[in-house]
Amino acid sequence: MGKIAGTSSLQAVDLHCVRGERKLFGALNFTLRSGELLRIAGANGSGKTSLLRIACGLLEPTRGEVRWGGKDIRRLQEEFWRQLVYVGHANSIKDDLTATENLHVACTLAGVPRQAAQIGEALRRLGLAGCENLPARVLSQGQRRRVALARLALSKGAPLWILDEPFAALDAAAVEHVQDLIAEQLSRGAAVILTTHLEARITAAAALRIDLEAT
């Protein structure tokens, strides 16, 4: 399996996050290197999603900064986002488009256009054979999540994956597939951040864990 060229480390420096009046976390530091998995744990409302959104650059931290290869991601902007795959809480799927069209748009926007054949293969890998040309509105919640996660199978060159509750709404077989995808990506030298309530069994060279209630 080919290694990903040009991986960098993601570094959080003294992150504080206040939403409304509530302080979610403060003085959070971590460094995530190539091939490492970071799992963020915590109860509902403890700021897991906020932390992921800060790490993506969607949300501005109240204080502190996130660095990619030593540079602030707010300065890097597109240069950072080109290397990032973010699968958020929402599936980012248009109901009126088919699964294939949705993935085609998502990959093109991410700067890595994919052919229909590659998209079909990614969908089959997630167990969606036969659903390629169905509009997303007729898919079940779990199937829609699978479409969103099929992006991972199409983004093997991205050195950073940030996944918000990737296993939500998935059945056991699909959880297995996604865990395999993540383990493969880690072995390629990418870094992965995820939040999950499941005790995920993912083999990684190094697994970090941040418990948000503890901070």
Partner 1 sequence: MLAALRCVIYRDLLLAVRRSSDVLTVLLFFVIVVSLFPLGVGPDPALLRTIAPGVIWVAALLASMLALNRMFASDHADGTLEQMLLGATPLGMTVAAKILAHWVISGLPLVLISPVLALQFDFPREFLWTLTLSLAFGTPVLSLIGAIGAALTLGLRGAGALLSLLVLPLYVPVLIIGAGAADAAVSGLGGQAQLLLLGALLVFAGAFAPWAAAVALRISTE
Kind of pairing between the strands at 206-211 and 63-68: unpaired
What is the token pair recorded at 43? Answer: 């109860």
- Binding partner 1 (rule: CB under 8 A), the pick from 32, 40, 51, 84 is 84
CA distance 151 to 126: 10
Q: Is 152 an interacting residue with respect to partner 1 (CB under 8 A)?
A: no
- C-alpha dist (Å) from residue 104 to 70, 116, 121: 32, 8, 13
Q: Is 6 an interacting residue with respect to partner 1 (CB under 8 A)?
A: no
> 10 Å Cβ neighbour count for 2?
8
Toward partner 1, which CB reaches closer, 69 or 135? Answer: 135
Instruction: Name the CA dihedral angle for 175, 177, 182, 186, rounded to a multiple of 10 degrees.
Output: 140
3-state secondary structure of 59: coil
Q: Which helix (H) or strand (E) holds 196?
A: none
Q: How far is the CB of 106 from partner 1 (least distance, A)?
A: 6
Q: Is 95 an interacting residue with respect to partner 1 (CB under 8 A)?
A: yes
Toward partner 1, which CB reaches closer, 91 or 185? Answer: 91
Q: Is 97 an interacting residue with respect to partner 1 (CB under 8 A)?
A: yes
- Binding partner 1 (rule: CB under 8 A), the pick from 14, 82, 133, 213 is 82
Kind of pairing between the strands at 206-211 and 36-41: parallel
Binding-site size, partner 1 (CB under 8 A): 32
Toward partner 1, which CB reaches closer, 78 or 199? Answer: 78
Q: Is 104 an interacting residue with respect to partner 1 (CB under 8 A)?
A: yes
By CB under 8 A, which span of 105-113, 125-133, 184-192, 194-202 interacts with partner 1? 105-113
Are the CB atoms for 62 and 18 separated by under 8 Å?
A: yes
For residue 12, the cross-strand partners are: 30, 66
Show the binding pattern over residues 36-65: x = contacts partner 1 (CB under 8 A), - = does not: --------------------xxxxx-----
Toward partner 1, which CB reaches closer, 25 or 81? Answer: 81
Q: Is 96 an interacting residue with respect to partner 1 (CB under 8 A)?
A: yes
